[in-house]
Amino acid sequence: MTEHRAGGTGPPDEYIEAEIHRLLAEDPDVAEQGITVVRRERALVLYGEVESPHRREEILRRVAERFPDVPVTSDIGVIRTQAPTEIEQLP
């Protein structure tokens, strides 16, 4: 992966967005392909859903570790695992 250009104070650029997206998939501690990275004026926002609270924390920890200068906020949920309340009938 290309090195992050540290120390910048401007808005996060497209390359950082791409690097975070790849980090989430390729970092063995994360391995998530379903997280969306959205660039906002003041921060990058991570959206998506994961299978446990631990994974959500790990994503934020790894992103903060690798991109300490990039403001990142998270709106990642943990997917519910309740039994279904409906069935679908298919003739």
Work out which of 4, 17, 55, 72 binds other proteins, going by CB under 8 A. Answer: 55
Instruction: Verify binding: residue 90, other proteins, rule CB under 8 A.
Output: yes
Distances (CA, A) of 35 to 22, 59, 74, 83, 86: 10, 10, 10, 25, 28
In terms of CB distance, is 5 or 40 closer to other proteins?
Answer: 40
CB of 69 to other proteins, least distance (A): 27
- β-strand partners of 3: none
In this structure, what DSSP letter does residue 67 have? -
Distances (CA, A) of 49 to 10, 22, 29, 30, 68: 29, 17, 16, 13, 23
Work out which of 5, 22, 36, 61 binds other proteins, going by CB under 8 A. Answer: 36
In terms of CB distance, is 55 or 62 closer to other proteins?
Answer: 55
> Under the rule (CB under 8 A), what is the footprint of other proteins?
28, 31, 33-34, 36, 48-49, 51-52, 54-55, 79-91
